[in-house]
């Protein structure tokens, strides 16, 4: 794998990674402290791919970008790769304030709009029951029960009705290029990726990242989901399109080449985690007791919640393929154990 740009663009600035394709960054208030944004020149305006969180700071940075690298030319279209708030946060703002159209997958739009409208002051009973079933550590459980949960409305601007659906097999014209649309799953349902027919560019969102593994989690909305199975199917399918010369423009970290190798790594990473997890489940364990085999370390602090939902994702996968059993403990936590 190669990384043509070791240094990312500074705040309010852009790097041209191909003719008419700009790479920009917006900050995030978390350990993964940035999201990559791309702007493609359509002649009379720009198409931007993903948007960053909705915040005063993000809007101020966009003001600099619009006046600077985007040279005052309007944003006429926003493409959102998937529904997570660092990618969809300002889509509604661009629609309402800038007159842009929104193009995304149906599932991404439905999830984003539903979650933006579903504001909660305290966690729902279903959410707390789900945490209990996961085997969440008691200290974290009490903390979650008493605090305001993460709300899309805090970092996603209101989304007006109306979008254009993109789906598997579509071909779209962006930035003077024709792009094949291929859909991934696992990190987010109906995650869009774009593969240029005219050069070596791939816009991958969070479906394909270079040096980190996309979070694959199970949530109270669909507690029996198998996103690990969805992820591995997507990686196997998308790998058939991968070429060594592809320049992959992802949602985080830096652009890279060497895509076939990276696709193999993404698949092998989860097979390895599943193998270690099987061995770990010789005796019954809760989801909260499965961090070490999956991540090769114990996880605490701000990352605990993401680790827990990813542990459940791996356990659910083994359950769905018939390799483990689960039984409810008296306190409501699932106990998972390898068969045989």
Inside any domain, residue 283 = no
Q: Is residue 132 part of a domain?
A: no
Residue linked to tokens 């709300």: 151
Cα distance between residue 273 and residue 130, in whole Å: 23
Q: What is the CATH number of the domain that holds 27?
A: 3.60.15.10
pLDDT digits (tens, 9 = 90+) for 286-335: 999 999 999 999 999 989 999 999 999 999 999 999 999 999 999 999 99
| pLDDT recorded at residue 71 | 96
Residue 200 in any domain: the answer is yes
Q: Does a structural domain hold residue 8?
A: no
What local confidence, expressed as pLDDT, does residue 147 receive? 93
Q: Judging by beta carbons within 10 Å of its beta carbon (0-12, 13-18, 19+), is residue 307 exposed, middle or buried?
A: buried
- Would you say residue 337 lies in a domain? no
What's the mean per-residue pLDDT of the chain?
Answer: 97
Q: What is the DSSP string of 240-270?
A: TT--TT-EEEESSS--BB-HHHHHHHHHHHH
What total of structural domains would you count in the chain? Answer: 1
Question: Could you tell me the mean pLDDT of each successive run of 10 residues in the chain, 340 residues long?
Answer: 96 98 96 96 98 98 98 97 98 98 98 96 95 96 94 97 98 98 98 98 98 94 97 97 98 98 95 96 97 94 94 98 97 95
For residue 55, is it within any domain? yes
Phi then psi for residue 330, to 5 deg, are -60, -30
Query: Within a domain: residue 254?
Result: yes
Residue 331 lies in a domain: no
Domain containing 78 equals 15-120+148-276
């Amino acid at each position: 794998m190669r990384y043509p740009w070791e240094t990312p663009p500074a705040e309010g600035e852009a790097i041209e990674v191909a003719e008419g394709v700009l790479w920009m960054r917006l900050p995030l208030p978390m350990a993964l402290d940035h999201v990559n944004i791309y702007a493609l020149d359509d002649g009379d305006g720009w198409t931007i791919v993903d948007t960053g969180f909705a915040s005063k700071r993000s809007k101020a940075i966009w003001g600099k970008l619009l006046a600077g690298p985007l040279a005052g030319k309007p944003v006429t279209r926003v493409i959102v790769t998937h529904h997570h708030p660092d990618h969809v946060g300002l889509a509604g703002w661009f629609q309402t304030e800038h007159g842009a159209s929104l193009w995304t997958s149906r599932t991404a739009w439905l999830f984003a709009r539903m979650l933006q409208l579903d504001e909660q002051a305290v966690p729902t009973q279903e959410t707390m029951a789900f945490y209990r079933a996961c085997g969440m550590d008691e200290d974290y459980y009490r903390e979650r029960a008493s605090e305001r949960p993460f709300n899309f409305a805090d970092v996603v601007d209101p989304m007006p009705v109306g979008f254009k659906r993109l789906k598997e097999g579509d071909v779209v014209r962006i930035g003077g290029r024709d792009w094949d649309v291929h859909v991934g799953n696992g990190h987010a349902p109906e995650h869009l990726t774009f593969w240029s027919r005219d050069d070596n560019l791939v816009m991958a969102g969070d479906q394909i990242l270079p040096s980190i593994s996309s979070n694959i989690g199970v949530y109270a909305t669909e507690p029996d989901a198998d996103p690990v199975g969805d992820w591995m199917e997507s990686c196997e399918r998308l790998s058939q399109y991968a070429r060594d010369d592809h320049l992959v423009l992802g949602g985080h970290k830096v652009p890279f080449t060497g895509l076939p190798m990276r696709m193999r790594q993404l698949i092998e990473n989860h097979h390895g985690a599943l193998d270690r997890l099987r061995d770990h489940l010789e005796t019954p364990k809760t989801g909260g007791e499965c961090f070490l085999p999956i991540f090769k370390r114990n996880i605490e602090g701000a990352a605990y919640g993401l680790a827990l939902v990813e542990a459940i994702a791996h356990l659910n996968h083994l359950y769905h393929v018939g390799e483990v059993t689960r039984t409810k403990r008296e306190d409501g936590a699932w106990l998972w154990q390898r068969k045989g």
